[in-house]
Chains A and B, each alone.
Chain A
């Protein structure tokens, strides 16, 4: 896919958002797809790490819940306008992840995944035991001001508008990542992923690109965290819990991580299934566990991979270069 076609797709997708919002009249359906879109962004962050670094994170909820807590605390302290607080939170999440990344990306292979799990859980424990205004296990409210980016709260929080906002963020992020990964940065990170030793031989430092990808994936997940905080107006330690990381990872694997749009697809499928299952939802862990095992064993490239095989090799070759 060349640049102009990507732009065209993105514009098309941006237009599709409001159209969907107009067509779907039911409030519950809208809130369901809004949630799916938020988790699609979350999953895209994890997918980015897996795709560009070949590393699995079992603790990305840290950046999802962390961003929610960050914005909640900043708004509570009332130090700066909310718009700035959003920016500061995202930068802080990325900077923190970069520092963590410098330490943990040096740990090879699967031990990395175990570390992310442990670090994530450390913050879950801290948040659920903390006293003071973060509310410990009960969580805290996120006090959004009455106007945000020039829009009043009642306009912003209307389900259809919120959906359009989240959808547009997803589209813009996807486009930005697709463009970024076509650049030299994308090529370097892929070289480091595929053969770290040879990458070093040709003079590429390997820790910095890996840590940068880790920070970038945390940033994407942080955006999802802020949108979730806007959507619910509330943040609790559950948003930091590893089961949430696991759920998002499941979306990534089921959707397929080889292409950028795989994880978002997984998120949508997950929420559709959860809604359809409804009554069986008490056993969703078994159902999703078995679904995860089935997909990973029989189609390691996920639904996206299966779709690509279905629609021939031409398309998969094209998106293999670009997406």
Chain B
């Protein structure tokens, strides 16, 4: 019981890692808290559903994030870039308006009823670990979460573009003066972040059902994660995502009555201790 619960916590934590790394990347470069991120995740999941219906899951796993990346680049070019000199609040409210529009569009196209995506054949078996049967698909989700975390960390640490991204997150103006095209960089990063939201959506589709409320559920957990981790910090978000997944899963065993409240209690406790979050020096 405990093993499989902790396992599920790890699975959900990995999903949150994929979500929150997108959120943190976008915040890092554009200083925008993207309220539409959950809606983009939902859009990715529904796109993945349609693609999977017509071909198969593996095509969806590539196609949906690719479409989302394009949407992200457009969002940056015709949204964030035009609004970059405005009050941060303005941009937040614009993303909030966007969230309403995307949710309505998704409901109009795919309807309000719950949909589900079949687990791909290749991963439709389970593995016995410590007497608990763990579905292989969920192990795959953990692998994807780990790959995203590791890939992003290495990319930011060792590649030239990663260096530019880190520089632009710290000081966009000086970075631009050194000859880095920060607008193109931002477009790429917002595209990547949006693609990650789409990837999270497709990955979540076979084990969480698709419904219009999926966007707000995951958005709120993601916000808790990035606030606990420290806004804009990738490492903080990774740790906080795993902690949140675990706390929820283990809480469901020992404290079933208050399990839904635990993330929030955790968040309040951490913020009393460290108002800027675990990794936070940035505001």
Contacts and interface: CB of A to CB of B under 8 A. Distances in A.
Interface string B68-101: 0000000000000001001111101110111111
A114 B227 contact: yes
B89 A110 contact: yes
Of A114, A249, A283, the most chain B CB neighbours within 10 A belong to A114
Nearest to A293: B97
B213 to A, nearest CB: 10
Interface stretch (B3-11, B162-170, B198-206, B268-276): B268-276
A243 B38 CA distance: 14
Interface in B255-283: 260-261, 263-264, 267-268, 271-272, 275-277, 283
Contact of A109 (B83, B86, B268, B283): B283
Contact of A289 (B92, B100, B263, B272): B100
A291 B108 CA distance: 19
A103 B101 contact: no
Contact of A292 (B97, B108, B226, B276): B97
A249 B97 CA distance: 11
A321 B83 CA distance: 29
Contacts of A288: 97, 100
Contact of A118 (B33, B93, B227, B276): B227
B223 interface: yes
Chain B, interface residues (CB within 8 Å), range: 35 or more
A122 B260 contact: yes
Contacts of A114: 33, 223, 226-227
A283 B90 contact: no
Contacts of B224: 118
A108 interface: yes
A106 B277 CA distance: 12
Contact of A286 (B101, B261, B264): B101
Contact of B260 (A109, A110, A125): A125
B76 to A, nearest CB: 16
B104 A285 contact: yes
B220 A117 contact: yes
A39 B276 CA distance: 34
A117 B217 CA distance: 11
A182 interface: no
Contacts of A115: 223, 227, 267, 271
Given A126-B261, A253-B93, A289 B220 contact: no
Contacts of A297: 83, 90, 94
Nearest to B265: A122
A242 interface: yes
B227 A107 contact: yes
B100 A107 contact: no
A125 B213 CA distance: 13
Of B33, B227, B277, the most chain A CB neighbours within 10 A belong to B227
A221 interface: no
A105 B87 CA distance: 19
Interface residues of A, number: 38
A296 B263 CA distance: 33
Interface in A60-119: 103-104, 106-111, 113-115, 117-119
Contact of B271 (A103, A253, A286, A290): A103
A289 B39 CA distance: 13
Contact of B90 (A103, A126, A300): A300
Contacts of B25: none
A104 B269 CA distance: 11
Contacts of B268: 103, 119
Interface string A268-289: 0000000000000001011011
A200 to B, nearest CB: 15
A17 interface: no
Interface of B: 33, 83, 86-90, 92-94, 96-101, 103-105, 108, 216, 220, 223-224, 226-227, 231, 260-261, 263-264, 267-268, 271-272, 275-277, 283
Interface of A: 56, 58, 103-104, 106-111, 113-115, 117-119, 121-122, 125-126, 129, 242-243, 246, 249, 253, 283, 285-286, 288-293, 296-297, 300
Given A249-B96, A300-B90, 7 more contacts: A107-B227, A110-B92, A119-B264, A246-B96, A285-B104, A293-B93, A300-B86
30 contacts: A56-B89, A56-B92, A56-B93, A107-B271, A110-B92, A111-B231, A111-B277, A115-B223, A117-B220, A118-B223, A119-B264, A119-B268, A122-B260, A122-B264, A126-B261, A243-B216, A285-B100, A285-B101, A286-B104, A289-B97, A289-B98, A289-B100, A290-B97, A292-B100, A293-B93, A296-B90, A296-B93, A296-B94, A297-B83, A300-B86
